[in-house]
Chain A
C-alpha cells in the first residue's frame, strides 16, 4: 500500500506532466519529419542546441535590456524560446541539405549532427560564459493558474503554477493532429512519406515538403530543449537532455506516427521520468530507477507493448531522375 501511494499521487502526476513536455515536443517534431519520409536521429543534438540557445537568448535579453525585462518579465524567456526554435530550424535545414539534397544516409547525417551539436555548445559556452559545461541561471515564464480548477485543493499541484509552455505545447499537439488529418499541407506531407512517386506525379514537390518536415522537427526539438533549460532547470548544463531526443523517437513510434499517439506515449515516458526523479523508497538501487525511461524505451521499441505501422517510404531517399 505504501508503494501504491508512492507510485500514484497528484504531485507525482503534476511532475510527470512537467517532465513529459520536452519528450512530447521533440516527438511531435519527429512525427512531422518521419511523416514526410525523413528519419531524424539528430533530434537529440537539436535539442541540445535548443537547451543552450534557450538559456542564452533568455540570459542575453535579461542582461542587455534590463528595462525591457523589468517591464515585461516574460520577454526574456520568450526570446530564449525563439532563439532555440530558430537554431532548431537551422539544424533541421542542415539535416535536410544532407539527406534530401545530397541523399546522405539519414542515420549517418543524424549522428553527425549530434556530434556537431556536442562540440558547438561547449565551444559557444566557453566563448560566452568562460566555462565549457554550464550557463548562468535564467528566469522562467510567469506561471499560470488554471481558472476555476485552481480552487479545488486536491488538484492544487496539477492546476496551479502551470508553465505557459505546457499549455502551448498541448495546443500544438491538437493543432498538429488536425493539420495532418485535415489540411492540404498535412495530406501532402503524409503522401510524400507514404508514396513519394505518386505525390511527385501529381505535381507535389517531394523535396520541398520533406524540407518542411525536417525544419518543423527542428523547430519542435529546439522548443523542447528551450523548455528543459528555461522552465525545468532554469539554466543550461552539459548532458541535460539525457537522451530525451532518442526517447522522443521511441515515443513517436509507440504513438504510431500520430501527434495524439505520441502524446500518450510521451506521457508514459514522462511518468517513468518523474518516478526516476523522485526518491521513492523502493528496494531497487537509485541508479536503476534513474534509467527507467531508457528501459521502457527498449521495451516499447521491441514491440512488447504494441506493434506499429510506419510510413511506407520513411527513411527512403527519393530520387527524381533515374541515374
Chain B
C-alpha cells in the first residue's frame, strides 16, 4: 500500500500535466499547427541551450519564493492571495533601503535590504490577518483588495515621492539606483570558472540558492519540529488542537506572517538581483503564479521548487514557441491554467481513493461487529 501510494502521488501531477498538454494540443490544432512540432520546439529550445537553462533558473527563482509563501499559508488553512501586493511592498522597502542608505558595507546593507522587504511585506499582511482573526473578514477578498491598494501605493511612491530626479523629463518613472552594496551578488563569476558565460548566466544570482535552501529548511521545519506539528494539528482539526492547548489564532497568525515574510523576497530577484532600481513597470503577477506553483506542488516545499522550475521551463518554452513556431505564448498560459484545474481534481480524487482504501484495509484487519440491520 505504501509503495503504491507513493507511486500514485508522483503519477498524479504527471497525469495532470499530460492532460493539460492534451487540451493545449487541441488548441494548437485549432490554430492550424502540429502540436508535436510545437512541443518539440519547446523542449529543444528550452533544454538544449545554455542561455535557456539559465533563463529558466532565473525565472524560477522568484516563483520559488512566491510559491513557498502561498504554500505556507495554505498549510495553515489560510489563503494568502495577497502575495502579489506583499511582494510589491517588499520590493519597494528593499529598494528604499538600497538607494537611500549609502556607504554601508555589503554585509550590513544587503541583509538590511532583505529585512526591509520582509518587514514591509509583513506589515502589509497585518491588515488582512488581523481582520480575519479578530473580525472574521474572509482573507481571500481582503488580500485581493490589499493587492489593488498596494499597486496604487507603489504608483504613488514611485511616481510622486521617490522618482529618480535624474529621470525627470524622460518617460522613465523609476527610483534612483540601488547602491552596489545592496545588490544581490550574481552567480556569474562562479559559473564563469566552470566555463559558463553569457548574459543569461550572469542574471542568475544568490537568491536561487536561497530559494532552494528555503524549500529544504521549510520541509524540515514543517515535518520535524514542534511548531510544524502544531500547524498540522491546527489545520487538520482546529477544535482538537485547541483542546490540546495549541492556540489556533496564534499559530495561524505566525504562519501568515511567515508567508508574508517569504512573499516580501519574491520581487528581489528582479529588483536587487537584476535591474538595480524599482521601475513602475517592474515584473508583476508573481503572486498569482505562486498560487499555481503551490497548488501544483500540493503545498510541499520541495515540490514547490520543482513546480517553480517547471513554470520557469514553460515560460522559456513559451518564448521559444512564439519565436520559432509562431504560436502565441498565451497558449502556454492556458496550458498552465488547465494543468492547475486538472491537478486539483486529480489530487481530490487521489485523496478520496486513499481514504476508501484505508477504510477497506482497516475493515479487513479488524472486523467490527455490525449490529443487525445497520449498514448498507
Q: Which residues of A are in contact with B by a Cβ distance under 8 Å?
A: 41, 94, 98, 102-105, 107-109, 111-113, 115-116, 118-120, 122-123, 126-127, 132, 242-243, 246-247, 249-250, 285, 287-288, 290-291, 294-295, 297-298, 301-304, 323
Contacts and interface: CB of A to CB of B under 8 A. Distances in A.
Dominant SS among interface residues on chain A: helix
Given A115-B288, A294-B145, A302 B137 contact: yes
A246 B145 contact: yes
A102 B349 contact: yes
Nearest to A108: B344
Nearest to A120: B334
Contact of A116 (B155, B341, B349): B341
B344 A298 contact: no
A123 B348 contact: no
Given A123-B328, A249-B141, A250-B141, A287 B156 contact: yes
Contacts of A118: 288, 333, 337
Nearest to B127: A298
B135 A107 contact: no
Contacts of A119: 330, 333-334, 336-337
B338 A116 contact: yes
A112 B337 contact: yes
Nearest to A301: B137
Dominant SS among interface residues on chain B: helix
Contacts of B199: none
Given A115-B337, A119-B330, A288-B156, A102 B142 contact: no
Interface string B246-281: 000000000000000000000000000000000000
Contact of A111 (B138, B145, B291, B345): B291
B348 A298 contact: no
B140 interface: yes
B348 A102 contact: yes
Interface string B322-352: 0000001011011011101100110011001
Interface size range on B against A: 35 or more
Contact of B141 (A108, A132, A301): A301
Interface string B106-139: 0000000000000000000001100100011110
B284 to A, nearest CB: 11
Interface stretch (B40-48, B94-102, B146-154, B222-230): B146-154
Interface string B300-335: 000000000000000000000000000010110110
- Residue in A41, A250, A285, A301 with the greatest tally of chain B CB atoms within 10 Å: A301
- Residue in A115, A127, A132 with the greatest tally of chain B CB atoms within 10 Å: A115
B341 A112 contact: yes
Nearest to B343: A112
A126 B328 contact: yes
A301 B137 CA distance: 5
A280 to B, nearest CB: 16
Contacts of A120: 334, 337
Contact of B352 (A297, A301, A304, A323): A323
Contact of B336 (A98, A105, A115, A301): A115
Given A123-B331, A288-B152, A323 B355 contact: yes
The list of the 5 closest CB pairs from A to B, nearest first, reads A119-B333, A116-B337, A123-B330, A301-B137, A287-B156
B152 A246 contact: no
B225 to A, nearest CB: 26
Contacts of A250: 141, 145
Given A120-B334, A291-B149, A303-B135, A41 B140 contact: yes
B344 A112 contact: yes
Interface string B28-50: 00010000000000000000000
Contacts of B127: 298
- Residue in B27, B149, B153 with the greatest tally of chain A CB atoms within 10 Å: B149
B79 interface: yes
A180 B350 CA distance: 37
Interface string B347-367: 011001001100100000000
